[in-house]
Structure 1
Amino acid sequence: MISRLQPSLGRLLISEPFLMDPNFKRAVILITDHQEEGTVGFILNQCSTLLLKDVIPELAEANFPVYFGGPVETDTIHFVHRCYDKIGDGQEIAKGIYWGGNFETLKALINSKHIHEDEIKFFIGYSGWGKEQLKKEMKENTWIVSDAFHPDVVFSGNEENLWREVIINLGPKYAHVSNFPQDPSLN
């Protein structure tokens, strides 16, 4: 499976179907930073067992799910959102999708129930690649890159089917891949 698109800000990295690394098995990653020095992104379809209120005690009523963003710096919390009009801050990484912002403003909005689950996604840790690492993995066909997705994909609560949905969305050339079993010995 060769993807013609290259990793870039706001694109998705989709793991190849038989990638066995437990951190990235059937992962869909939103790229939030891509420069010569490296790449940063967040896994969209690996929900943890934590809620935001478990991670930030002053948000005692925040029942937002927290996702495993990746294996790097798992003692940090990050967020992407589509509510710039409310937060007034964040780096636009794709049309209508923002990374980060003023956390104090965000906490006030969450406590006053002005932010909804379909507007924001929280992550513990992130996925990161060094200067040449992602380029090497692309040559090894570890990842498929997509820029053809609706913002709803990022904020979907359907983690189990997200990988399959984005593969199918790539078109007929990739659609058959969506039916590959997770364990190739079952094929």
Structure 2
Amino acid sequence: MLGEAAVGGGRIEGVTTTSSGLGDSGSAFPGALLVATPQIEEPTFRRTVILLLEHLADGSLGVVLNDPSSVPAAEVMPMWSGVLHTDICVGGPVQTDAAVAVARLDPAATASPPEGLRPIAGPWAVVDLDSEPMATSGAIVDAQLFLGYAGWGAGQLAGELRTGSWWVVDSAPGDLALGRRRGREGAWWSVLRRQRNDLRLASTFPEDPSLN
């Protein structure tokens, strides 16, 4: 279920196009952000912000927004170099040679995006990298190429949410650029600081929890 993507094909099979509804901070849904809580100390996911692309009974899939790299997107997907942001981001530890492109759509295109763009929720869509770039570029405001993704098996993400590993918050239109603009730490703080609840206070947590 978690899908397959490949450099050169760049497709994720089975990505859902249905959202369970925005605004429910107690459960995950496509288009939401998963923000790592301080209890995650594993370097791969520590202080990550993940855009959730799929959340179904048999598994979940997302991309890490705030793990930028200096690898040019043109080296991986040269056909799309005029549409994608210049550098790639590391999307997660699963299939790290797989290319996944996520786009922020123009508001006018969200209701009926052109072929080659698979809507997720809100302004977000997965780009079919086998499609013709010129056919989709007019509908895209911003697009980011990721290598790899974050994946969870059946019930795994729900279990991590129950144990307090992730906060679930709404995404914002500018979030696709979070990592490349602010880096890992800056993006994590930025997402928490814009919250209007107790999560805003979490942005003040020291890097070393023992100092709190």
Q: Please point out which of 109, 116, 134 is paired with 1:89.
A: 116
The secondary structure found in structure 1 opposite 2:29 is: coil
**In the alignment, does 2:57 pair up with 1:30?**
no
Between 77-86 and 30-39, report the one with greater CA deviation: 77-86
Aligned mates of 2:145, 2:93 — CA distance in 1? 15
Q: Is the Cα contact below 8 Å between 1:53 and 1:63 reproduced in 2?
A: no
60 and 79 in structure 1: CA distance in 2 versus 1, 3 angstrom threshold: closer
CA distances 1:3-47 after superposition (whole Å, capped 9, x unpaired): 952011111111002411111111110110111000000000110
The amino acid of 1:168's aligned partner reads R
176 and 83 in structure 1: CA distance in 2 versus 1, 3 angstrom threshold: closer
**In the alignment, does 2:130 pair up with 1:103?**
yes
Aligned mates of 2:67, 2:146 — CA distance in 1? 9
Q: Please point out which of 168, 193, 199 is paired with 1:145.
A: 168
The secondary structure found in structure 2 opposite 1:164 is: helix
Q: Please point out which of 54, 67, 73 is paired with 2:75.
A: 54
What is the TM-score when the length of structure 1 is the normalising length? 0.82
Structure 2, unmatched stretches of 5+, are 1-23
Q: Is the Cα contact below 8 Å between 1:118 and 1:155 reproduced in 2?
A: no
Aligned mates of 2:34, 2:211 — CA distance in 1? 25
**How much has 1:125 moved relative to structure 2?**
0.3
Aligned mates of 1:47, 1:133 — CA distance in 2? 26
What is the TM-score when the length of structure 2 is the normalising length? 0.74
The amino acid of 1:126's aligned partner reads Y
After superposition, residues 93-172 of structure 1 pair within 5 angstroms as: 93-106=120-133, 119-147=142-170, 149-156=171-178, 157-160=180-183, 161-172=186-197
The amino acid of 1:122's aligned partner reads L
CA-atom RMSD, angstroms? 2.8
Aligned mates of 2:85, 2:168 — CA distance in 1? 32
The secondary structure found in structure 2 opposite 1:136 is: helix
Structure 1, unmatched stretches of 5+, are none
The amino acid of 1:99's aligned partner reads V
Q: Is the Cα contact below 8 Å between 1:87 and 1:102 reproduced in 2?
A: no
154 and 88 in structure 1: CA distance in 2 versus 1, 3 angstrom threshold: same
81 and 4 in structure 1: CA distance in 2 versus 1, 3 angstrom threshold: closer
CA distances 1:49-76 after superposition (whole Å, capped 9, x unpaired): 2111232356678761101110000010
**In the alignment, does 2:201 pair up with 1:179?**
no
CA distances 1:161-186 after superposition (whole Å, capped 9, x unpaired): 22112112222411111011222244
In structure 1, the residue matched to 2:14 is none
Aligned mates of 2:78, 2:54 — CA distance in 1? 29
59 and 79 in structure 1: CA distance in 2 versus 1, 3 angstrom threshold: closer
Aligned mates of 2:191, 2:85 — CA distance in 1? 27
